[in-house]
């Protein structure tokens, strides 16, 4: 039985790995007692007071992550996170519960929880709070020196939302669930042979340098919609096990998808190609969308790879 209380020993263990977070966590407890604590999705505040807390928390978490990644301290930290988090995810109720406060219908038919007052503390809230301490984060950071993540494992996936990273190498890196690279400004990004577990989001990021995903494996869905590939991109031999979305992306230089495998539905709708594209030997095992592609030769290449 998981102790999913606001003062769970799980948090004590995670705070041992993240001592910088203790003042933030004390404030969190005060907000829970005042019934104003509302994380309604991963890393998302459901009310103004929680969003203010996150605005203080995220920069501190990002600074701590940068120090670990640049000092070589990440593997030991991640091993500690693994020992704490993996047993939690082995519990079916914890693994399957929505991350955050219980959802309810809001405007436009969406489900969310934007309540100013939240009574009680659910398993979903516990899960959201665990992820706050277990996720490495470079949110809104600017890092102008090369960042080498090669061979590292991220039990909970890295988040770089809003970051400006000039040069990232991630050869054979393992990115766990909840990895988010959305709205990032990326220079050269070399993730050859990397593995991405669960859904991963790059929408709507910009790759200013070469984007290299040759031989990468995406075990869950991939969103690369409205992405700008300003330099060459290479997905040679990449394997996409989940749905894949490149809709609205712009390829300014060579787009190489040679021998890539798409196992679920994919879309390249409304993509734009300013240079050559290569889908030789690629295989689409399910449906693929090509409407809105102005370059009909590229559309033909994609459809020719449909099995």
Could you tell me if residue 216 is inside a domain? Answer: yes
Together in a domain, 121 and 146 = no
Could you tell me if residue 299 is inside a domain? Answer: yes
Q: Once rounded to an integer, what is the mean pLDDT over residues 238-262?
A: 98
Burial class (CB in 10 A: 0-12, 13-18, 19+), 26: exposed
The predicted pLDDT at position 39 comes to 98
Together in a domain, 156 and 248 = yes
pLDDT > 70 in the chain, percent = 100
Together in a domain, 85 and 159 = no
Q: Of 123, 119, 118, whose CA–CA distance to 97 is shortest?
A: 123
The predicted pLDDT at position 89 comes to 96
The predicted pLDDT at position 227 comes to 98
DSSP lists the bridge partners of residue 272 as 250
The predicted pLDDT at position 110 comes to 85
- Cα 291 to Cα 248, 251, 257: the distances in Å are 11, 16, 18
Answer for the pair 290, 269: CB distance below 8 angstroms, yes or no: yes
Could you tell me if residue 1 is inside a domain? Answer: no
Helix (H, G, I), strand (E, B) or coil at 209: coil
Question: For the chain, how many structural domains are there in total?
Answer: 2
Token readout for 182 is 């959305």
Binned at pLDDT 50, 70 and 90, residue 296 comes out as very high
Together in a domain, 116 and 14 = yes
Together in a domain, 107 and 41 = yes
Could you tell me if residue 3 is inside a domain? Answer: no
> With 90 as the cut, is the pLDDT of residue 1 above it?
no
Binned at pLDDT 50, 70 and 90, residue 253 comes out as very high
Together in a domain, 146 and 110 = no
The predicted pLDDT at position 183 comes to 97
Could you tell me if residue 177 is inside a domain? Answer: yes
Together in a domain, 182 and 215 = yes
Could you tell me if residue 4 is inside a domain? Answer: no
Q: Can the peptide bond before residue 204 be classed as cis, meaning omega within 30 degrees of 0?
A: yes
Structural domain including 30 reads 9-134
Which of 73, 104, 134 represents a domain boundary (last residue)?
134
> With 80 as the cut, is the pLDDT of residue 82 above it?
yes
Together in a domain, 129 and 150 = no
> With 80 as the cut, is the pLDDT of residue 49 above it?
yes
Answer for the pair 165, 94: CB distance below 8 angstroms, yes or no: no
Tell me what the pLDDT averaged over the chain comes to. 97
Tokens 């494996």 appear where?
Answer: 217
The predicted pLDDT at position 306 comes to 80
pTM for this prediction: 0.95
Together in a domain, 230 and 147 = yes
Query: pLDDT tens for residues 211-237?
Result: 999 999 999 999 999 999 999 999 999
Q: Of 262, 247, 253, whose CA–CA distance to 305 is shortest?
A: 262
Together in a domain, 24 and 162 = no
CA dihedral 42, 44, 49, 55 (to 10 degrees): 100
Which of 89, 112, 134 represents a domain boundary (last residue)?
134
Answer for the pair 270, 294: CB distance below 8 angstroms, yes or no: no
Which of 75, 109, 134 represents a domain boundary (last residue)?
134
Together in a domain, 176 and 216 = yes
Could you tell me if residue 2 is inside a domain? Answer: no
Query: pLDDT tens for residues 159-199?
Result: 999 999 999 999 999 999 999 999 999 999 999 999 999 99
Q: What is the CA radius of gyration of the chain?
A: 20
Together in a domain, 264 and 147 = yes
The predicted pLDDT at position 307 comes to 73
pLDDT > 90 in the chain, percent = 96
**Which is it for strands 185-190 and 206-207: parallel, antiparallel or unpaired?**
parallel
Q: Once rounded to an integer, what is the mean pLDDT over residues 2-29?
A: 98
Query: pLDDT tens for residues 96-147?
Result: 999 999 999 887 778 999 999 999 999 999 999 999 999 999 999 999 999 9
The predicted pLDDT at position 106 comes to 81
């Amino acid at each position: 039985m998981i102790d999913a209380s606001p003062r769970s020993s799980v948090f004590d263990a995670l705070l041992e790995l993240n001592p910088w977070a203790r003042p933030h966590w004390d404030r969190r407890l005060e907000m829970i007692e005042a019934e104003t604590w509302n994380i309604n999705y991963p890393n998302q505040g459901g009310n103004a007071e929680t969003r203010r807390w996150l605005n203080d928390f995220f920069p501190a978490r990002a600074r701590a992550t940068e120090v670990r990644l640049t000092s070589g301290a990440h593997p030991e930290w991640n091993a500690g996170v693994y020992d704490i988090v993996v047993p939690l995810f082995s519990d079916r109720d914890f693994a399957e519960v929505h991350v955050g406060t219980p959802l309810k219908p809001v405007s436009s038919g969406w489900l969310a929880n934007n309540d100013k007052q939240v009574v009680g503390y659910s398993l979903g809230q516990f899960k959201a709070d665990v992820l706050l301490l277990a996720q490495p984060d470079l949110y809104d950071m600017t890092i102008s020196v090369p960042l080498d993540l090669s061979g590292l494992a991220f039990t909970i996936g890295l988040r770089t939302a809003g970051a400006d990273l000039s040069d990232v190498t991630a050869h054979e890196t393992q990115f766990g669930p909840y990895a988010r690279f959305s709205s990032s400004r990326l220079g050269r990004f070399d993730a050859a042979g990397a593995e991405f577990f669960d859904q991963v989001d790059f929408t709507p990021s910009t790759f200013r340098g070469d984007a290299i995903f040759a031989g990468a494996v995406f075990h869950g869905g991939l969103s690369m919609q409205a992405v700008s590939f300003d330099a060459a991109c290479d997905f040679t031999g990449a394997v996409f096990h989940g749905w894949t979305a490149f809709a609205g992306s712009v390829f300014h230089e060579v787009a190489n998808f040679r021998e890539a495998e798409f196992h679920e539905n994919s879309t390249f709708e409304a993509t734009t190609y300013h240079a050559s594209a290569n889908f030789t030997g690629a295989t689409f095992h399910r449906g693929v969308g090509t409407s809105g592609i102005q370059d009909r030769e590229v559309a033909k290449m994609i459809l020719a790879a449909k099995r």
